[in-house]
Amino acid sequence: MHVIKKVFGNMDVSKDLFLLLLIGGLYSISISLSNTFVNIYLWKQSKDFIDLAIYNLAIVIFQPITFILAGRWAKKVDRVIVLRYGVISLALFFIAVLSFGEKSSEHLILLGGLLGIGYGFYWLAFNVLTFEITEPETRDFFNGFMGALTSIGGIIGPISAGFIITRFVSNIGYTVIFAISLLLFLGAVITSFFIKRRPASGQYMFLRIFTERKNNANWRFVTNAHFLQGLREGTFVFVISVFIFLVTQDEFALGTFGLINSSIAFIMYTLATRLIKKEKRKVVMVAGGILLYVAIFLIVFDITYAKLLIYGGLLGIAYPLMLVPYSSMTLDVIGKGWKAAEMRIEYIVVKELFLNMGRVISIIAFIATITYFGTTDSIPIFLLVVGIGHTLAAFILTKVRVDM
């Protein structure tokens, strides 16, 4: 604890905030270790973009449905229990992958559904706990430090996984990394028992907060921005990793991409935590959003591994610049919203619903595009269209007016 305070300006770090960061770190390492390689694992079995799209579509359909259910449970039971359900569900996903083995591509909807359910429970509880445990004065710190932990996971995970996979024959390496991810999630389950229970009471007013967009312009801007964010994320989350594998035919090359991206992001998140002030949030956020779109032009035509590595480096710079102020502004808008203290769970659920609506639309459009126009010519153009999502999201949030 003392080390964390010293590194980040002697910030007042509570026990629960530290434990939440620890759980987030375990999650990040586990997901970084395995999640990218699940897509490659499935790609090697089917070699079909549509199969990958169906798997990812199942994730982003089940995730918002679970969010709505998890929101009700968090309102009626306890947020920490919902968080625990999330990490248990994610552990079950890896048990299923280990069980199905080389027949995993025959169970795309089941696997995607399990992962979506795990994400739904986990992120609902994590977001709500973040809102409750942090204050406006500590949110930039928390978002920046969480980003740094995510980057550490990104540094350790992909390169380690790529090394392990390439050192074993057949798919034994995949089995090893999926088993390690399972153990990390079990560690997160255990850690969750040390967070103070946070029971809730009151009426679950999901539809009321959904329609609050009509009354609150700031809330409308936030939800619209998250929809646009989802438009890019829905497809980019799996297409880029396949691009790297197609160019190199080497999982270690994919791990190297992750290493470069996350190493730069770690430095940037650490700097963002210290340097981004409230009055500079919007300028920095827009700069990050523009850079995210400009970077796409490196990889849509005449793709090479060198260009992909440069792209990864640019993302490592751009995402922290955009997401640290973006996340903080989102929480501030929620904090100033109608009955924010009572309705914080509903606000988080609606925000994530719009994010996943964007992802669903993105993946459905991707499936339609490659079905009717083929993969070779259509994917680059498609990426240029949906890739502007973060940029537009950043510009929309510049309209937010919150009395800080």
Give per-residue pLDDT as tens, 159-213. Answer: 889 999 988 877 889 989 989 988 988 888 888 888 877 666 678 888 999 999 9
Looking at residue 75, its pLDDT comes to 79
More confidently predicted of 6 and 195: 195
Instruction: Report the alpha-carbon distance of residue 310 to residue 159 in Å, rounded.
Output: 17
User: pLDDT category, 350, cuts 50, 70, 90?
Assistant: very high
Look at the chain and report how many structural domains it folds into: 1
Residue 272 lies in a domain: yes
Q: What is the DSSP string of 203-243?
A: ---HHHHHHGGGT-HHHHHHHHHHHHHHHHHHHHHHHHHHH
Residue 403 has pLDDT above 70, yes or no: no
| Tokens 């090697």 belong to residue | 44
CA–CA gap between residue 221 and residue 393 (Å, rounded):
9
Q: What's the confidence (pLDDT) of residue 404?
A: 45
Q: Supply the angle between the helices 15-46 and 172-192 in degrees, to the nearest 10.
A: 160
225-251: average pLDDT = 92
Tell me: pLDDT of 10 over 60: no
- Stronger pLDDT, 32 or 398, i.e. the higher one: 398
CATH number of the domain enclosing 181: 1.20.1250.20
Q: For 209-227, what is the mean pLDDT?
A: 94
In a domain, 1, yes or no: no
Task: Tell me, yes or no, whether 256 lies in a domain.
Answer: yes
Cα 172 to Cα 98, 102, 167, 177, 248: the distances in Å are 10, 10, 9, 9, 20
Residue 362: per-residue pLDDT: 96
In the predicted model, is pLDDT for residue 271 greater than 50? yes
The residue-averaged pLDDT of 217-236 equals 94
Instruction: Note whether 363 and 57 are within 8 A (CB).
Output: yes
Q: How confident is the model at residue 367 (pLDDT cuts 50, 70, 90)?
A: very high
Residue 4 lies in a domain: no
- Mean pLDDT of the residues in the chain: 87
Q: Which residue has the higher pLDDT, 226 or 281?
A: 226
276 inside domain: yes
Q: Which of 9-13, 54-58, 378-382 has the lowest mean pLDDT?
A: 9-13
Least confident segment among 67-81, 124-138, 218-232: 124-138
Residue 289: band (very low, low, confident or very high) from pLDDT cuts 50, 70, 90: very high
* pLDDT score, position 298: 92
Question: Per-residue pLDDT averaged across 245-250, rounded?
Answer: 90
Check residues 345 and 291 and name the one with the higher pLDDT. 291
In a domain, 402, yes or no: no
Residue 2 inside a domain? The answer is no
Instruction: Give which of 314, 343, 336, 350 is closest to 401, Cα–Cα.
Output: 336
In a domain, residue 3? The reply is no
pLDDT at residue 58 greater than cutoff 80: yes
Q: Residue 7: what pLDDT? A: 54
pTM of the model: 0.87
Per-residue confidence band for 276, with pLDDT thresholds at 50, 70 and 90: confident
Q: Is the pLDDT of residue 86 over 80?
A: yes
Cα 146 to chain center, whole Å? 12
- Chain segment 121-156, per-residue pLDDT in tens: 998 888 778 877 777 667 777 777 787 777 778 788
The domain of 308 spans: 9-195+203-397
Instruction: Give strand pairing partners of 199.
Output: 78
The arithmetic mean of pLDDT across residues 261-287, rounded, is: 85
